[in-house]
Structure 1
């Protein structure tokens, strides 16, 4: 039987101790999956690049000044997104991730909707992001929210850069 509990999006770390405990696990899963998809699979978090290990071990320090939203289902963290602090009226979305067991329930859409609304309320005029070209489902999601492919600001091959006016 599928669990159909309500999903609530909260701003981390202010609103929920359970979001606190689940964020590191979501970030670990995101980075481990990404490295595997890039053909650089590692056995565990210790094999990740230092900058990713830092996010997982101390999200408060890694995302200081940023907005982190966490989706909760029955008190468990099942999704997250980071909205980087605005620079010059532009913000960046990073680390949009939904636990694979909870996909197909609109969690990523809810997180993205909340992230864009929060950015607009904060006076941001545009939001950008980068996504690996093989993540076609994510690209389609971003396009549904008005993101368009733009000139790359990142030199990594196979990375698609997108932007949306909010």
Structure 2
């Protein structure tokens, strides 16, 4: 018998209101982990910078112009990704996160694939992203999916900027 769990990628909010809080819990895990990896660990969500707390508290408003994709296992949200609204002929992938219990099962690849399809439907010519340089697994995933390192558009140190033409 296989331990493989079926996971569906859906647009949020959408057909699955039973997905509980939607992406809020995943976004909290993403931001708390990122703060710790940057050497700026905080005790909880209330200690995160304002811009991140807003995303967690009300993702529907924070990403109102964007597309939020969720990976669902049953009624549980186990992965998320945000595709920004098109600007200057491209969209950006942000906040890719998979619940650690579900890693290694293709969820991140499925989310990025759905993001690329969403971006193509919106008519953009490219998708870009930034990733912390210590996230070697994520960088390798993006490279496998056709992203290449490009000149940085972000002033923060330790970010790798990547882009893929559609």
Hey, which bits of structure 1, 4+ residues long, moved more than 2 A? 1-5
Any idea what SS the aligned residue of 2:131 has?
A: strand
Q: CA deviation at 1:63?
A: 0.1
* Partner residue, 2:92: 92
Q: Deviations over 1:37-66 (max 9, x none)?
A: 000000100010000000000001100110
Higher-helix-fraction structure: 1
* Structure 1: gaps spanning 5 or more residues: none
Map 1:1-166 onto structure 2 (within 5 A).
3-19=3-19, 21-166=21-166
User: Is 117-126 or 127-136 further displaced after alignment?
Assistant: 117-126
Verify the 8 A CA contact 2:12 2:22 in the aligned structure 1.
no
Q: Cα deviations across residues 83-128 of structure 1 (Å, max 9, x unaligned)?
A: 0000121100000000001000000000000000111121110000
Given that 1:92 and 1:127 are in contact with CA atoms closer than 8 Å, whether structure 2 keeps it comes out as yes
CA 39–20 in structure 1, closer or farther in 2 if over 3 Å, else same: same
Count of residues in Structure 1 that have an aligned counterpart in Structure 2: 166
Q: 1:19–1:70: 8 Å Cα contact kept in structure 2?
A: no
TM-score (norm 1): 0.96
C-alpha RMSD of matched pairs (Å): 1.3
